Amino acid sequence: MDWTTGGLVTANPVWVGSSELTMTPGGLRACVDAGAGAVVAKSVNESAAARRQLDIADYAFVSPDREVRQPGVAHREDGLLNRSGLAQVALDEWLGILAEAVSHGAGRGCPVLGSITLGDPPAAARIGRAMAKVVPGVELNIGAPHGREATAVRQLTEVDAVAEAVRAVRATVDVPLFVKLPGQASDVVALARAARSAGADGIGLVGRYPGFLPDLDGGAVLGSWGAWGSPACLPMSLYWVSKTRLALGPDVPLVGTNGARTTADVLRFLASGAGAVEIVTALWTDGPPVLAELAEGVQSFLEARDLTPAAFVGSALEGARDYADVAPVRPPAWLRYAGPSGR
- Kindly report the CATH number assigned to the domain that includes residue 257: 3.20.20.70
pLDDT at 291: 98
Segment 288-315, tens digit of pLDDT: 999 999 999 999 999 999 999 999 999 9
Instruction: Report the run of H or E that residue 14 belongs to, with start and end.
Output: strand 14-16
Comparing CA positions, the residue from 276, 25, 250, 273 lying closest to residue 137 is: 276
> Domain total for the chain?
1
Instruction: Report the run of H or E that residue 242 belongs to, with start and end.
Output: helix 234-248
Q: Which residues of the chain have pLDDT under 50?
A: none
pLDDT at 336: 83
Q: Alpha carbon 266 to chain centroid distance? A: 12
Rg (CA), the chain: 20
DSSP state for residue 220 in the 8-state scheme: B
Residue 116 contacts residue 45 (beta carbons within 8 Å): yes
pTM score, two decimals? 0.95
Please tell me the distance from the alpha carbon of residue 113 to that of residue 262, in angstroms, as a whole number: 23
Segment 214-269, tens digit of pLDDT: 998 889 999 999 999 999 999 999 999 999 999 999 999 999 999 999 999 999 99
Residue 336: partners with Cβ closer than 8 Å, 6 or more residues away: none
Helix, strand, coil shares, percent, the chain, to 5: 45, 20, 40
pLDDT at 340: 64
**Domain of residue 246, residue span:** 3-342
List, in sequence order, every residue forming a beta bridge with 14; answer none if it has no partner: 277
